[in-house]
Amino acid sequence: MNIKSCMKHVVVSIPATATIRETAEVFVKNHIGLLPVVDENGNPIGILSLHDLLTLELPDFVSFVADLDFVHDFGAVETTRPSAEALNQPVTVLMETTITIPEDCGLLRAYAMMLQHKLYDIPVVSKKGKLVGIVSHVDIGTAILTGWYSVE
């Protein structure tokens, strides 16, 4: 079994010219966790995860204070919104470099790639580098588990 058999074939993507505000809308409308950023020819030039967007709102202390259990109420942080200025920036400022897997990639290799790059979804490309699908860690994980049925 490879990725092609468990991936989603319909891929929502955004152009590099989109703003962060527009991108947020795309995330909400499609209820997804990762968006490939594409150039005018539809080739992936980067990826943007839900987490990348949320860093705009996440408080700074989360990266300094190791143990947050004692903070029972995030207080003002809960109602802090990114500035209009931040939301009108082009999406490329938050974009990460493209991480893709080929459509004939093995399931375990794909899962390991996601773990390593801390991704929950990963775009799938054809041999020519064209975006052909997207696969989530649930898609891959459950596909791997179905192999356990045949274990006697």
Partner 1 sequence: MILAASLSSLIFLISLVLIFSEKLNRSITAIAGATLMVGLGKILGFYSETAAIEAVDFNTLGLLFGMMILVAILEPTGFFQYLAVLSARLSRGNPVRLFVLLGIVTTVLSMFLDNVTTVVLIAPVTILISEVLGVNPVPFLVAEALLSNTGGVATLVGDPPNILIGSAAGLSFNDFLVYSLPIVLIAWVGALFLLLWLFRRELAVRPRKAKSVSKLNPVETLIEPIIARRVLIVLGAAILLFFVHHILHISPTFVALSAAAVALVWVRPDIHLVLKKVEWSVLIFFGALFVMVGGLEATGVLDALVGLFERSSNIPPLLFGVGLIWIVAVLSAVVDNVPITIALIPVIKGLGETGIDIDPLWWALVFGAGFGGNGTIIGSTANIIVATLSEKTRTPITSKLWIKRGLPVMMATCAIASILYIIIYPVF
Fill in the per-residue mask, 71 to 100: x = in contact with partner 1 (CB under 8 A), - = not in contact.
xxxxxxx-xx--------------------
Which residue, 26 or 87, is less far from partner 1 as judged by CB? 87
Q: In sequence order, what are the beta bridge partners of 116?
A: none
Fill in the per-residue mask, 49 to 68: x = in contact with partner 1 (CB under 8 A), - = not in contact.
----------xxx-xxx-x-
Q: Is 120 in the site for partner 1 (CB under 8 A)?
A: no
Rounded CA gap, 31 and 49, in Å?
Answer: 12
Which residue, 61 or 120, is less far from partner 1 as judged by CB? 61
Tokens of 114: 């996601």
C-alpha distances in Å from residue 132, one per residue of 54, 89, 129: 27, 28, 9
Which residue, 69 or 152, is less far from partner 1 as judged by CB? 69
C-alpha distances in Å from residue 85, one per residue of 41, 44, 46, 89: 29, 26, 22, 7
3-state secondary structure at position 137? helix
Beta carbon of residue 97, minimum distance to partner 1 (angstroms, whole number): 21
Residues at the contact surface with partner 1, assessed by CB under 8 A: 59-61, 63-65, 67, 69-77, 79-80
